[in-house]
Structures are given as structure tokens and as C-alpha cells.
Amino acid sequence: MLPKVVIFNYFIWLFSIHGTCLAIKHPVILIPGDGGSQIEAKLDKPSVVHYLCDKKTVDYSNIWLNLELLVPYVIDCLIDNMRLIYDNNTRTTYSPPGVDIRVAGWGNATAVEYIDPSLTSFGAYFKTIGNALVSVGLERDVSIRGAPYDFRRAPNENAEFFIKLKTLTEETYAQNNNTPVVFIVHSMGGCMSLQFLRNQTQEWKDKHIRALVSLAGAWGGAVKALKVFAVGDDLGVYVLSGSVLKAEQITSPSLAWLLPSPFFWKPDDVLVQTEKTNFTISNYKSFFEGINYITGYEMWQDIRKYKDFGPPGVEVHCLHGSTVTTVEKLVYGPGKFPDKYPDIKYGNGDGTVNMRSLEGCVYWATMQKQKVYHQVFPGADHMTILHDERVMDYISQLMEKL
């Protein structure tokens, strides 16, 4: 039998060589924000909006994000298939006749690393973060999982997602040696995660969740959501028209969910200024009547209770950008509201979410016993934060320390 000292020295040597392999790594679930999931559709439509549109398809095919659909005329097909129809009686939405929608890739890392399933750089989403996680010892689809969802809908229509997320968390925990999971979330994915965590028992969270890492969390909404309701958004693609895309964008209840929150804006903070009326969080109904889209207010009524802002009850790492011009107010000159494009007044934020909303997480420091870490990355905008080297370093170092 070998002397005990020899056996001891052998294990010291073994650990020095293979220490990183033996160390426990916390698995990660990636939760995307608005627009961050792959959407597929199967069609059997009674009619189409353009002769270039498919009326019937044999199987499901990707429509979001598919570059081939983001071209003139053909984009009308995308808009018609992605739009939702609001039912005042059920207070829910449904797809147009003959359009069957599903979210692709549940549990798979690649499904959220790329919005475009062809894996092109244009559609890269969580890809850089996925690479960073692999570099510290995690494995895709084993210790790196993806939790995509129908981002068009708000929590009131995403009950199935929350059920599946709990199962995925428990499954990921179990298959990684009963190791608590880290949620890495982006934008509205932070809000979805908050809703999920606040509905779990503290005992469950203490067992299954190690930390919540939020990137550009839209905790209190954004004035940009009002801009989209008013004039649409071109998604940062110069060949697209915001006014054209608006027809689909404003049908999403999640857009109403992202309206500026009463927890972060004062009742007299002017968000939309017109010749006759100034609109604030106190008179959203008048705003939607003014733009002739009262459905937007109905959706706001449906989701208001989900704007409640309590702590998640887990350790939080809140990362976001700053010093990027961000929509602060819409100003309509005489005779411009609601049909003309407004002047935009800008303030501090990450280009999409206002600073007061991004910083919402700091309030949790006094509301929960779990630690809240807050880090600002000047110049990182709402999307580039997903690829920012400073953020990748933070995440890599965090995963090594946890």
C-alpha cells in the first residue's frame, strides 16, 4: 500500500492539473428580451396581403428573424403573420386566421445565441456571452440553456413560459450535480425573470437559483415604447420604415407592458407634448384616444398589475450602459399631433431604456437580504452590451468566483 503522504501528494498534483475540470460550475439559463426569440409559423391562410406572400406552407418555417423577409413588399407578409388581434372579451390576443405560431428551440442555447437560425452574424444575440461561458468551462445545452418565449406577449399571456421555466431550472440544476442556476437575462427578459422569481417560494429560490445577472434591464419601462405606439420603430435598419412596421409592433401587449412605469416617472413628468395636451403616466387613456388606438390602453389595463416592482429575492448583478442618447420626450409642434413625426428630446440612457429605469435594480439593495451589485458601462448601448468586452470580462470573472 502506498504511504499516505504519496497518495496526498498525488491528489494535490491531480487537482493542480485538472482543477478547473473538478471545480463546480454554476449552470446558466439565458433569457432573451423583446425580439430575442426565434419565431416559426405554419400557414394555411384564407388570403394574403401581397402576391409575394405564402398562403400555405407544409411545415413550420422561421419568420423571426429571417433576413429574406426584411425587404420591400415581402415585409408586408412578415407584418401580417406576426401581428396579433386583440379580443376585448377574453382580454387576450390571437394570431390572424390560418397563422400557427410557435417559439423554436426551448432549452437550447443556440436558439437564443442566434435570432436568425442560419447562424449569421447579423442574427447573433447571446452568442458572445455563450462563447464567454464556454471559455470558463460551461457546455452548451448541458450547463448553458436557453429559455425563449413569445416576446410579443406580456406575462398575462405567458403562463406556459413560467411553468416551463421552473421545470427547465430544476432540470438544469439536477443534471449539473444539483448546482444552483444563474439566470443571465437581457432587457425585457429581466422583467420576465422578475415576474417568475417573485412567484416562487424563497425556499425554492434558495435551492435552485445562485444569481440573477441582468443586462440592460428595462425595469421601469421606457419612453421609447410610447414612440413606437405613436410612429413605430425601424429596428435600427435604415432600409426599413418605422411607420410600416408599426402595424405589427403596436399589436403586441408586451409593448404596453414596457410603457413608462408609475414607480419611476412622476405624474407630472411630460412624456408627450402637444399643442393642446401634455401626456404623462396619469393620462395614458387620453394619449391612446389621441392616436386613435384605444386597444393600446386596453392592453395597458391588462398588464398594469405586472408593473409592481418588488425584489426578486436572489443575488443580483445589474449591468447596463449609460451616456447614450435615449428618447426622453416626444414634442409635437402646432398641428402635428398625431399624424406628423414629432421632434425627439433625448436624455441619458442606453439608447433604448432611460437611466431611471435601468437603475431600478438599486432599490432592491434595501428591500432584500441578498446582495445587489450594480455596474455601469458608459457607452454600452442596449444591444452592444451583449458583446461589450467589459461586460464579458465581468461575466467571466463572476462565473469563476461564484
User: Any idea which residues carry the catalytic annotation?
Assistant: 187, 350, 382
Residue 61 DSSP SS3: strand
Rounded Cα distance, 329 and 224, in Å = 9
Residue 218 DSSP SS3: coil
Per DSSP, the residues of 308-368 read -----SS-EEEEEEESB-EEEEEE--TTTTTTSPPEEEEESBBSSSBHHHHGGGGGGGGT-
Give the DSSP letter of residue 291: T
Count other Cβ atoms within 10 Å, centred on residue 151.
Answer: 22
Contact status, residue 99 vs residue 81, Cβ threshold 8 Å = yes
The H-or-E segment that residue 285 falls in is helix 284-290
φ, ψ of residue 280 to 5 degrees: the values are -130, -175
Which residues are 317's β-sheet partners? 213, 373
Asked if the peptide bond before residue 338 counts as cis, ω within 30 degrees of 0, the response is yes
Q: What is the dihedral of CA 390, 393, 399, 402, to 10 degrees?
A: -80
Rounded Cα distance, 401 and 290, in Å = 52
Residue 99 DSSP SS3: strand
Rounded Cα distance, 30 and 107, in Å = 9
Q: What beta strand segments (E) does 77-235 contain?
A: 85-87, 92-94, 99-103, 144-146, 181-186, 209-215
Considering Cα of 217, then 219, then 223, then 224, what sign does the dihedral take? Answer: positive
CA angle 257, 111, 174 (to 5 degrees): 95
Q: What beta strand segments (E) does 217-315 contain?
A: 272-273, 278-279
